[in-house]
Amino acid sequence: MKAVRFSEFGGPEVLELVDLPDPHPGPGQVRIAVRAAGVNPSDWKKRRGQMDEELPQTMGHEAAGVVDELGEGVVDVALGDRVFGFSGEGAAQAERAVLSHYAPIPPSLDFPGAAALPAAVETATRALDQLGVGSGDALLVNGASGSVGSAAVQLAVVRGTRVIGTAGPANHDYLRSLGAEPVAYGDGLVERVRALAPDGVDVALDVAGSGVLPELIQLAGGPQHVVTVADFRGAQEHGVTFSRGDTGRAVHALDGIGELIEAGRFSLPVARTFPLAEVAEAHRLGEGGHVRGKLVLLIG
Protein backbone atom coordinates (compact mmCIF):
# COMPACT_ATOMS: atom_id res chain seq x y z
CA MET A 1 0.00 0.00 0.00
CA LYS A 2 1.02 3.64 -0.46
CA ALA A 3 1.76 5.55 2.75
CA VAL A 4 3.35 8.84 3.82
CA ARG A 5 6.71 8.47 5.53
CA PHE A 6 9.89 10.44 6.19
CA SER A 7 13.41 9.13 6.78
CA GLU A 8 15.03 12.37 7.94
CA PHE A 9 13.84 15.36 9.92
CA GLY A 10 13.29 18.65 8.13
CA GLY A 11 10.84 20.66 6.04
CA PRO A 12 7.87 19.38 4.05
CA GLU A 13 10.23 18.23 1.30
CA VAL A 14 11.34 15.22 3.43
CA LEU A 15 7.87 13.64 3.13
CA GLU A 16 7.70 10.69 0.76
CA LEU A 17 4.99 8.41 -0.61
CA VAL A 18 6.34 4.88 -0.18
CA ASP A 19 5.14 1.29 -0.51
CA LEU A 20 4.61 -0.46 2.84
CA PRO A 21 3.06 -3.82 3.77
CA ASP A 22 -0.66 -3.78 4.50
CA PRO A 23 -1.33 -3.55 8.27
CA HIS A 24 -3.66 -5.95 10.06
CA PRO A 25 -5.87 -5.23 13.08
CA GLY A 26 -5.26 -6.67 16.52
CA PRO A 27 -7.97 -7.58 19.04
CA GLY A 28 -10.62 -4.86 19.29
CA GLN A 29 -9.28 -2.99 16.27
CA VAL A 30 -10.51 -2.57 12.70
CA ARG A 31 -8.73 -1.91 9.44
CA ILE A 32 -10.16 0.54 6.96
CA ALA A 33 -9.64 1.31 3.33
CA VAL A 34 -8.81 4.95 3.96
CA ARG A 35 -10.81 7.53 2.04
CA ALA A 36 -9.62 10.64 3.93
CA ALA A 37 -7.04 11.46 6.62
CA GLY A 38 -6.68 14.58 8.74
CA VAL A 39 -3.59 16.79 8.90
CA ASN A 40 -2.63 18.29 12.28
CA PRO A 41 0.03 20.56 13.82
CA SER A 42 1.48 17.49 15.53
CA ASP A 43 2.35 16.19 12.06
CA TRP A 44 4.84 18.95 11.33
CA LYS A 45 6.18 18.88 14.89
CA LYS A 46 6.83 15.18 14.37
CA ARG A 47 8.43 15.83 10.96
CA ARG A 48 10.74 18.48 12.47
CA GLY A 49 11.95 16.02 15.13
CA GLN A 50 10.22 17.73 18.04
CA MET A 51 8.31 14.64 19.21
CA ASP A 52 9.87 11.26 18.43
CA GLU A 53 13.53 10.56 17.75
CA GLU A 54 13.36 7.32 15.79
CA LEU A 55 13.50 7.16 11.99
CA PRO A 56 11.82 6.47 9.64
CA GLN A 57 8.32 7.52 10.74
CA THR A 58 4.89 7.17 9.21
CA MET A 59 2.31 9.95 9.47
CA GLY A 60 -1.28 10.53 10.49
CA HIS A 61 -3.39 10.03 13.62
CA GLU A 62 -6.94 10.28 12.27
CA ALA A 63 -8.78 8.84 9.30
CA ALA A 64 -12.14 7.88 7.85
CA GLY A 65 -12.95 5.06 5.51
CA VAL A 66 -14.63 1.71 4.94
CA VAL A 67 -14.02 -1.27 7.23
CA ASP A 68 -12.29 -4.06 5.27
CA GLU A 69 -10.87 -6.25 8.06
CA LEU A 70 -12.01 -6.95 11.63
CA GLY A 71 -9.81 -7.67 14.62
CA GLU A 72 -10.62 -10.41 17.10
CA GLY A 73 -13.67 -9.66 19.23
CA VAL A 74 -15.01 -6.77 17.13
CA VAL A 75 -18.81 -7.05 16.98
CA ASP A 76 -19.97 -3.41 16.87
CA VAL A 77 -19.17 -2.83 13.18
CA ALA A 78 -19.24 -4.99 10.05
CA LEU A 79 -17.23 -5.19 6.85
CA GLY A 80 -18.27 -2.34 4.56
CA ASP A 81 -19.31 0.04 7.37
CA ARG A 82 -18.22 3.69 7.22
CA VAL A 83 -16.18 4.61 10.31
CA PHE A 84 -13.76 7.29 11.52
CA GLY A 85 -11.25 7.23 14.34
CA PHE A 86 -7.67 7.11 15.59
CA SER A 87 -4.65 5.26 14.31
CA GLY A 88 -2.72 4.27 17.43
CA GLU A 89 0.31 3.55 15.23
CA GLY A 90 0.34 7.06 13.76
CA ALA A 91 -0.01 5.67 10.24
CA ALA A 92 -3.37 6.98 9.04
CA GLN A 93 -2.05 8.85 6.00
CA ALA A 94 -2.03 5.71 3.89
CA GLU A 95 -4.25 3.60 1.67
CA ARG A 96 -5.09 1.31 4.60
CA ALA A 97 -4.97 2.01 8.32
CA VAL A 98 -5.72 0.21 11.56
CA LEU A 99 -7.99 2.15 13.90
CA SER A 100 -7.65 1.55 17.63
CA HIS A 101 -10.67 3.72 18.50
CA TYR A 102 -13.49 4.29 16.05
CA ALA A 103 -17.14 5.30 15.65
CA PRO A 104 -19.71 5.23 12.84
CA ILE A 105 -19.60 8.18 10.47
CA PRO A 106 -22.74 10.33 10.97
CA PRO A 107 -25.11 9.95 8.00
CA SER A 108 -24.85 13.62 7.01
CA LEU A 109 -21.02 13.62 6.81
CA ASP A 110 -18.76 12.68 3.91
CA PHE A 111 -15.35 11.07 4.43
CA PRO A 112 -13.34 14.34 4.55
CA GLY A 113 -15.73 15.80 7.12
CA ALA A 114 -15.43 12.69 9.27
CA ALA A 115 -11.63 12.55 9.00
CA ALA A 116 -11.48 16.12 10.33
CA LEU A 117 -13.14 15.18 13.62
CA PRO A 118 -11.08 12.85 15.85
CA ALA A 119 -8.07 14.93 16.90
CA ALA A 120 -9.95 18.20 17.33
CA VAL A 121 -12.87 16.65 19.19
CA GLU A 122 -10.66 14.54 21.47
CA THR A 123 -8.26 17.38 22.27
CA ALA A 124 -11.08 19.81 23.02
CA THR A 125 -12.98 17.32 25.17
CA ARG A 126 -9.85 16.33 27.12
CA ALA A 127 -9.05 19.97 27.90
CA LEU A 128 -12.63 20.81 28.91
CA ASP A 129 -12.71 17.74 31.16
CA GLN A 130 -9.43 18.76 32.79
CA LEU A 131 -10.82 22.23 33.43
CA GLY A 132 -14.06 20.76 34.80
CA VAL A 133 -16.09 22.97 32.48
CA GLY A 134 -19.81 22.78 33.21
CA SER A 135 -23.11 24.59 33.17
CA GLY A 136 -22.96 28.19 34.34
CA ASP A 137 -19.19 28.52 34.01
CA ALA A 138 -17.51 31.27 32.02
CA LEU A 139 -14.74 29.95 29.76
CA LEU A 140 -12.17 31.95 27.80
CA VAL A 141 -10.76 30.16 24.73
CA ASN A 142 -7.57 31.69 23.32
CA GLY A 143 -7.44 30.79 19.63
CA ALA A 144 -11.12 29.99 19.26
CA SER A 145 -11.47 29.97 15.47
CA GLY A 146 -9.13 27.08 14.63
CA SER A 147 -10.22 23.46 14.53
CA VAL A 148 -9.52 22.62 18.19
CA GLY A 149 -10.68 26.04 19.36
CA SER A 150 -13.97 25.93 17.49
CA ALA A 151 -14.54 22.36 18.71
CA ALA A 152 -13.96 23.52 22.30
CA VAL A 153 -16.35 26.45 21.87
CA GLN A 154 -19.17 24.25 20.58
CA LEU A 155 -18.67 21.45 23.10
CA ALA A 156 -18.58 23.97 25.94
CA VAL A 157 -21.79 25.60 24.71
CA VAL A 158 -23.42 22.16 24.71
CA ARG A 159 -22.41 21.89 28.39
CA GLY A 160 -24.21 25.14 29.17
CA THR A 161 -21.06 27.22 29.45
CA ARG A 162 -20.64 30.90 28.59
CA VAL A 163 -17.76 31.13 26.11
CA ILE A 164 -15.60 34.14 25.26
CA GLY A 165 -13.21 33.45 22.39
CA THR A 166 -10.20 35.28 20.99
CA ALA A 167 -9.77 35.56 17.23
CA GLY A 168 -8.91 38.05 14.53
CA PRO A 169 -11.72 40.42 13.52
CA ALA A 170 -12.38 38.46 10.31
CA ASN A 171 -13.44 35.46 12.40
CA HIS A 172 -15.70 37.23 14.91
CA ASP A 173 -18.92 36.52 13.04
CA TYR A 174 -17.87 32.88 12.77
CA LEU A 175 -17.39 32.68 16.55
CA ARG A 176 -20.80 34.27 17.12
CA SER A 177 -22.34 31.59 14.90
CA LEU A 178 -20.82 28.97 17.21
CA GLY A 179 -22.28 30.59 20.31
CA ALA A 180 -19.19 32.46 21.56
CA GLU A 181 -18.63 36.13 22.40
CA PRO A 182 -15.60 37.20 20.33
CA VAL A 183 -12.75 39.45 21.44
CA ALA A 184 -9.64 40.46 19.51
CA TYR A 185 -6.31 39.03 20.61
CA GLY A 186 -3.21 41.15 21.17
CA ASP A 187 -2.37 44.00 23.54
CA GLY A 188 -5.27 44.97 25.80
CA LEU A 189 -6.77 41.46 25.92
CA VAL A 190 -7.40 41.59 29.67
CA GLU A 191 -9.31 44.86 29.41
CA ARG A 192 -11.39 43.63 26.46
CA VAL A 193 -12.37 40.45 28.27
CA ARG A 194 -13.21 42.36 31.46
CA ALA A 195 -15.46 44.63 29.42
CA LEU A 196 -17.57 41.52 28.79
CA ALA A 197 -16.93 39.78 32.12
CA PRO A 198 -15.97 42.34 34.78
CA ASP A 199 -15.09 39.65 37.34
CA GLY A 200 -13.01 37.67 34.85
CA VAL A 201 -13.73 34.07 33.86
CA ASP A 202 -13.88 30.80 35.77
CA VAL A 203 -11.48 28.90 33.52
CA ALA A 204 -9.35 29.51 30.43
CA LEU A 205 -8.11 27.28 27.61
CA ASP A 206 -5.11 28.22 25.46
CA VAL A 207 -5.22 26.63 22.02
CA ALA A 208 -3.08 29.16 20.15
CA GLY A 209 0.11 29.06 22.21
CA SER A 210 0.60 32.77 21.56
CA GLY A 211 2.33 33.68 24.80
CA VAL A 212 -0.72 34.97 26.70
CA LEU A 213 -0.71 32.55 29.64
CA PRO A 214 -0.01 35.36 32.16
CA GLU A 215 -3.11 37.21 30.94
CA LEU A 216 -5.21 34.03 31.07
CA ILE A 217 -4.00 33.35 34.61
CA GLN A 218 -4.96 36.88 35.62
CA LEU A 219 -8.44 36.58 34.11
CA ALA A 220 -9.12 33.09 35.49
CA GLY A 221 -7.83 33.79 39.00
CA GLY A 222 -4.78 31.53 39.06
CA PRO A 223 -2.78 28.98 37.07
CA GLN A 224 -4.88 26.11 38.44
CA HIS A 225 -7.79 27.39 36.34
CA VAL A 226 -5.87 27.42 33.04
CA VAL A 227 -5.04 24.60 30.60
CA THR A 228 -2.93 24.92 27.45
CA VAL A 229 -2.66 22.44 24.60
CA ALA A 230 -0.10 24.50 22.69
CA ASP A 231 2.48 26.14 25.00
CA PHE A 232 4.59 23.50 26.77
CA ARG A 233 7.36 25.88 27.85
CA GLY A 234 4.89 28.50 29.02
CA ALA A 235 3.02 25.89 31.04
CA GLN A 236 6.24 24.95 32.84
CA GLU A 237 7.15 28.58 33.45
CA HIS A 238 3.76 29.65 34.80
CA GLY A 239 2.57 26.49 36.57
CA VAL A 240 -0.25 25.84 34.08
CA THR A 241 -1.44 22.36 33.12
CA PHE A 242 -0.22 21.27 29.69
CA SER A 243 -2.74 18.84 28.26
CA ARG A 244 -1.22 16.04 26.24
CA GLY A 245 -2.67 12.86 24.81
CA ASP A 246 -0.13 10.48 26.31
CA THR A 247 -1.55 11.17 29.79
CA GLY A 248 -4.93 9.73 28.81
CA ARG A 249 -7.02 10.46 25.74
CA ALA A 250 -10.71 11.39 25.85
CA VAL A 251 -11.54 8.83 23.17
CA HIS A 252 -15.10 8.62 24.54
CA ALA A 253 -15.69 11.92 22.73
CA LEU A 254 -15.95 10.06 19.42
CA ASP A 255 -19.02 8.14 20.61
CA GLY A 256 -21.26 11.16 21.14
CA ILE A 257 -20.15 13.59 18.46
CA GLY A 258 -22.29 12.05 15.71
CA GLU A 259 -25.49 12.74 17.64
CA LEU A 260 -24.49 16.40 18.10
CA ILE A 261 -23.69 16.74 14.41
CA GLU A 262 -27.00 15.25 13.32
CA ALA A 263 -28.80 17.58 15.75
CA GLY A 264 -27.08 20.61 14.21
CA ARG A 265 -25.17 21.39 17.42
CA PHE A 266 -21.65 20.73 16.15
CA SER A 267 -19.77 21.26 12.91
CA LEU A 268 -16.12 21.39 11.92
CA PRO A 269 -15.41 22.85 8.48
CA VAL A 270 -12.88 21.33 6.12
CA ALA A 271 -10.74 24.21 4.91
CA ARG A 272 -9.12 22.41 1.99
CA THR A 273 -8.43 18.92 0.67
CA PHE A 274 -5.33 17.54 -1.04
CA PRO A 275 -4.51 14.30 -2.82
CA LEU A 276 -2.29 12.05 -0.70
CA ALA A 277 0.63 12.73 -3.04
CA GLU A 278 0.43 16.45 -2.19
CA VAL A 279 0.90 15.98 1.57
CA ALA A 280 3.94 18.30 1.54
CA GLU A 281 1.80 21.14 0.20
CA ALA A 282 -0.76 20.51 2.96
CA HIS A 283 2.05 20.86 5.50
CA ARG A 284 3.23 24.12 3.96
CA LEU A 285 -0.24 25.61 4.12
CA GLY A 286 -0.89 24.38 7.66
CA GLU A 287 2.43 25.59 9.03
CA GLY A 288 1.68 29.04 7.65
CA GLY A 289 -1.24 29.36 10.06
CA HIS A 290 -4.46 31.29 9.43
CA VAL A 291 -6.37 28.19 8.28
CA ARG A 292 -9.96 28.08 9.56
CA GLY A 293 -11.03 24.48 9.67
CA LYS A 294 -9.15 21.28 8.92
CA LEU A 295 -6.79 20.27 6.14
CA VAL A 296 -7.60 16.79 4.86
CA LEU A 297 -5.86 14.35 2.54
CA LEU A 298 -7.95 12.35 0.07
CA ILE A 299 -7.10 8.72 -0.66
CA GLY A 300 -8.64 6.43 -3.23
Residue type, 239: G
For residue 246, what pLDDT is reported?
A: 62
The mean predicted confidence, pLDDT, of the chain is 95
> For residue 277, which phi and psi values (nearest 5 degrees)?
-65, -15
Domains 2-116+269-298 and 123-247 agree in fold: yes
Percent over 90 (pLDDT), the chain: 89
Q: What is the mean pLDDT of residues 251-259?
A: 92
- Can you name the CATH fold of 2-116+269-298? Quinone Oxidoreductase; Chain A, domain 1 (3.90.180)
Contact present, 82 and 110 (Cβ < 8 Å): no
pTM: 0.94
The rounded distance, in Å, linking the Cα atoms of 18 and 126 is 34
Summarised one tens digit per residue, pLDDT across range 162-202 is 999 999 999 999 999 999 999 999 999 999 999 999 999 99
The rounded distance, in Å, linking the Cα atoms of 192 and 49 is 38
Contact present, 80 and 67 (Cβ < 8 Å): yes
For residue 247, what pLDDT is reported?
A: 59
The rounded distance, in Å, linking the Cα atoms of 122 and 99 is 15
Summarised one tens digit per residue, pLDDT across range 9-67 is 999 999 999 999 999 999 999 999 999 999 998 898 899 998 888 999 999 999 999 99
Residue type, 6: F
* 45, 48, 49, 52: CA torsion to nearest 10: 40
Classified as helix, coil or strand, 50 is: coil
Q: Which CATH class is domain 123-247?
A: alpha beta
The rounded distance, in Å, linking the Cα atoms of 102 and 161 is 28
> Structural domain boundaries of the chain?
2-116+269-298, 123-247
Q: DSSP letters along 108-166, please?
A: T--HHHHHTHHHHHHHHHHHHHHHT--TT-EEEEETTTSHHHHHHHHHHHHTT-EEEEE
pLDDT level of residue 289 (50, 70, 90 thresholds): confident
For residue 291, what pLDDT is reported?
A: 74
